[in-house]
Structure 1
Amino acid sequence: MVDVAASSFLDTYDAAPQPQQKLGLLYQWIATKPLELFKELRAKRPILVTPGGPTILARFADVEEALTRNQQFTVKPYAPKMDPAVGPFMLARDGTVYNQRDKGIMRALIQQSDLANVRQTVAKIAAKLIAQGASPDGRLELVSQVTRPGPIALTGQYFGFPGPDLTAMLRWSYATQNDMFHNLIDDPKVHAANIAAGAEMRSYLEDFLPRRAKQVKADPKIDDVVARLLRLQTPPQIGFDQGRILSNVMGLLVGGIETTSSAIVQAIDQLLDRPDQMIAAKRAAVANDDATFDAIFWEALRFNPMAPFVVRLLVEPYTIAAGTPRQTSLPAGTVVFASVASAMHDATVVPDPETFKPGRPAYHYLHLGFGEHRCLGDQVSLQQAPELAKQIIKAGFTKRAAGAAGHLDFKGGPFPESLVLTK
């Protein structure tokens, strides 16, 4: 690893003689020192155009600009990885029927009135998993015991996609999320695992959905998102056929497991480094003061969000930040990394960004995205992620286990794989 202690990131980057070396340094720093890197970019080079690589946007205003210009900054880079696995999908389209029709239908089925029950369901799921997963000596491994199986359980109980078993659901969610959103180097093995997972999911659902439709028809009391979807009757002209139902059900798993697990583990990891905030979080958890706990949770996650950036492809020439000293003209074909992590630390919008301040305005947080492609299940995520974390802390798991086990370990992959806590 390059030591940048004696010089700035940009000095080291500029001194690298080859484009690939420059990109290698950037990817290394994004993985290991993202907040430090982005702080320097915001101050010195907020729009970083790399040779033969992505353009990085570090300022809040520029990130928001890119994420609201969907006809220019498109999500096309996701399509080659999504379509072969789950079929044409709204997350890889801009301004199409998939966005208007599919998102409209799915949002109508995930109702605001469900949220209180969703939170209660999550609390019960978490309490059960914690009781089962805690070892006799008072240790709890968060990822394998709570933060992955918890969202999968909710996918079955609320969304109505239970899957054949936990192992298959874990494999499908990991493989699809890894390729679709993290495979920046287009590793063919990662892509192949995604395609295989999509084929397995499709095979399962092609058998499951007709059987579930019969159950739903026979019992009007069955009420989950899939049941609502199967009861939905649309005329042929709408085009929301069995294939669209299949793809959208698959999407419920793709977007809901690894991101939720990452958010919970990374937020708790930040609280472990802030004893006063952990004490406040536990006090709120024990009192079931969700408003206070959630404010602490989302602020903690701001210091290590699930993803450092989202990817967009510019399809026509565009001048970003026009009229400002940093305005930059970008050609069509530019790949853009819009850094939501950096934006949430931009002092021009977020006051005192290096200070832990629960209760910031909701618009300061970009954890669930921004604009047209904000997370489809954002309202469920706003309940599920903090409630799972709350139950862990409420159960008294507020200290790191001794040694390496007590520190967040990604094990060389894109997602948290292990963090052991004790009481």
Structure 2
Amino acid sequence: MSETMATETAREAPPFPQDRTCPYQPPAGYDEFRGKGEVHRATLYDGTEAWVVSAYAAARELLADAGRLSADRQDDGYPIVSERMEGIKYQPPSFVGMDPPEHNRHRRMMLAEFSVKSVAALRPRIQALVDEYIDEMLQHGGPLDLVPAFSLPVPSRVICEILGVPYADHTFFQEASQNLVQADSPEQALQSVGELSVYFDDMISKYLQEPGPGMIGRLAGDKVAGGELYKHELIMNALMLLIAGHETTASMITLSVITLLQHPDQLALLRKDEALIGPAVEELLRYLSIADIAGARVAARDFEAGGHLIREGEGVIVANSLANRDPSVFPDPDRFDIGRGNRHHVAFGYGVHQCLGQNLARAELEIALPALFNRIPGLRLAVDVDDLKLRDGGTVQGVNELLITWGDR
């Protein structure tokens, strides 16, 4: 046994994930993973152990190698990071829970709607929606909750139009999505998956009878009807994209507003030069790293990483909040600096499973944030940051409520 492995085994494996106490900083307990090697043992919520990858180079190397790491959550060794995930472990996977070549086959079917060209064509529509909701905010006046007033409906309407989901059903699917990603029990998570699955089953059945809109309509009429895609596969892919398409971007918008307001020097730079919005969004993605558990994998074979032998069947979590704060790649990593100009973070993952919707997420943030701060120049928090109720570490990071105000209120 190497000295590195002996040292790691001798001390108690710290818990992972942990809850944040600041909306834009990793948990203080993650210091045990930082600067002390590339790979560490960690204790999951149920007492089982997994490996946590904290170094940027190791994170990219492993995420790029599907031969070493599998995304199959039905594998017995897959690291379950919260109790709620127990409820959906054995549900049919979406494409993100598949390995190549099956993963690649599914992903290719959905690329068209999320390509750089398609997202560029969507920008005027995104701008119109952003302006519509800011108009309503200004008419209402502050204080108000930014999440239901702006952060949630903008990406929700965009992903609905892309997928072909009626936005009139938003109350149902937003509540079901929240109940899934923030479920209090495995049973609640399973119930939410069931409700959403029935919803998409009915929709796809309808689109098989008559042409339907969006990506779901296209794939139902082409791939499902043509026998290239099973109906249940389209159900799970659509379910995943709907949830990811509004939950993650909504969280990013809200946390980005908090972060910029808490760093007025950086907000002033952005207001002075809107050309900085691209670099600012990249720095926000790196700094916030809201999908810290998306890098959960299981070892597909024995391999060595960071001086440790990782055995086939052991859980591995590539923690992007740690990789994105690696000082060897991001000097002074805990400093928020919109002039950093580094787009090579792993907030969207890396390799074959790199986020399908990253072009869309970037566009939504690049349009939403300048519009908010330009049209509401006096925008400020109406609550102390220390009083915000943060989500637990086992889900998409964020807050469910953010009171803001402006003017004299």
TM-score for the superposition, normalised by structure 2: 0.80
**Larger helix fraction of residues:** 1
Which whole-Å deviations, capped at 9, do the CAs of 1:191-219 have from their partners, x for residues lacking one? 323333333323442454246x4366xxx
Query: Which residue number in structure 1 is paired with residue 39 of structure 2?
Result: 47
Query: Which residue number in structure 1 is paired with residue 346 of structure 2?
Result: 366
Change (3 A) 1:297 1:388: same
Query: Which residue number in structure 1 is paired with residue 82 of structure 2?
Result: none
Query: Which residue number in structure 1 is paired with residue 313 of structure 2?
Result: 333
**Structure 2 unaligned blocks of 5 or more:** 1-8, 76-85
Which whole-Å deviations, capped at 9, do the CAs of 1:46-79 have from their partners, x for residues lacking one? 4221364121111101111221222221112278
In structure 1, distance between residues paired with 2:287 and 2:28: 11
Q: CA deviation at 1:120?
A: 1.6
- Contact 2:69–2:298 (CA<8 Å) still a contact in 1? yes
Change (3 A) 1:137 1:153: closer
- Contact 2:282–2:343 (CA<8 Å) still a contact in 1? no
**Secondary structure of the corresponding residue to residue 150 of structure 1:** helix
- Verify: 1:214 aligned to 2:214, yes or no: no
Query: Which residue number in structure 1 is paired with residue 291 of structure 2?
Result: 307
**Secondary structure of the corresponding residue to residue 291 of structure 2:** coil
The partner residue of 2:63 within 30, 52, 67 is: 67
The partner residue of 2:99 within 89, 94, 97 is: 94
- Verify: 1:76 aligned to 2:66, yes or no: no
In structure 2, distance between residues paired with 1:295 and 1:62: 24
Q: Name the aligned partner's letter for residue 332 of structure 1.
A: E
1:279-318 to structure 2, matched below 5 A, reads 279-284=268-273, 289=274, 291-309=275-293, 310-318=295-303
- Verify: 1:118 aligned to 2:122, yes or no: yes
Q: CA deviation at 1:114?
A: 2.1
- Contact 2:39–2:51 (CA<8 Å) still a contact in 1? yes
In structure 2, distance between residues paired with 1:137 and 1:399: 11
How many pairs were matched up?
Answer: 379
> Which protein, 1 or 2, shows the higher relative CO under an 8 Å CA cutoff with sep ≥ 6?
2
- Verify: 1:167 aligned to 2:188, yes or no: no
Please identify, of 267-276 and 377-386, the stretch whose mean Cα deviation from structure 2 is larger: 377-386
In structure 2, distance between residues paired with 1:27 and 1:233: 38
The partner residue of 1:229 within 215, 219, 232 is: 219
Change (3 A) 1:208 1:233: closer
Which whole-Å deviations, capped at 9, do the CAs of 1:323-375 have from their partners, x for residues lacking one? xxxx1112222211211111111121223323433354554322211111111
- Contact 1:398–1:421 (CA<8 Å) still a contact in 2? no
Identical residues among aligned pairs (%):
20
Query: Which residue number in structure 2 is paired with residue 199 of structure 1?
Result: 197
- Contact 1:368–1:374 (CA<8 Å) still a contact in 2? yes
Query: Which residue number in structure 1 is paired with residue 83 of structure 2?
Result: none
Q: CA deviation at 1:148?
A: 1.2
In structure 1, distance between residues paired with 2:202 and 2:271: 41
Q: Name the aligned partner's letter for residue 250 of structure 1.
A: L
Query: Which residue number in structure 1 is paired with residue 54 of structure 2?
Result: 58
Which whole-Å deviations, capped at 9, do the CAs of 1:31-55 have from their partners, x for residues lacking one? 6662644455232244221364121
Query: Which residue number in structure 1 is paired with residue 255 of structure 2?
Result: 266
In structure 2, distance between residues paired with 1:78 and 1:385: 34
Query: Which residue number in structure 1 is paired with residue 365 of structure 2?
Result: 385
In structure 1, distance between residues paired with 2:391 and 2:101: 39
Query: Which residue number in structure 2 is paired with residue 354 of structure 1?
Result: 334
- Contact 1:397–1:421 (CA<8 Å) still a contact in 2? no
**Secondary structure of the corresponding residue to residue 301 of structure 2:** coil
**Structure 1 unaligned blocks of 5 or more:** 1-12, 217-223, 322-326
Query: Which residue number in structure 1 is paired with residue 264 of structure 2?
Result: 275
Please identify, of 100-109 and 199-208, the stretch whose mean Cα deviation from structure 2 is larger: 199-208
Q: CA deviation at 1:134?
A: 4.7
Query: Which residue number in structure 1 is paired with residue 240 of structure 2?
Result: 251
Query: Which residue number in structure 2 is paired with residue 8 of structure 1?
Result: none
In structure 2, distance between residues paired with 1:152 and 1:370: 25
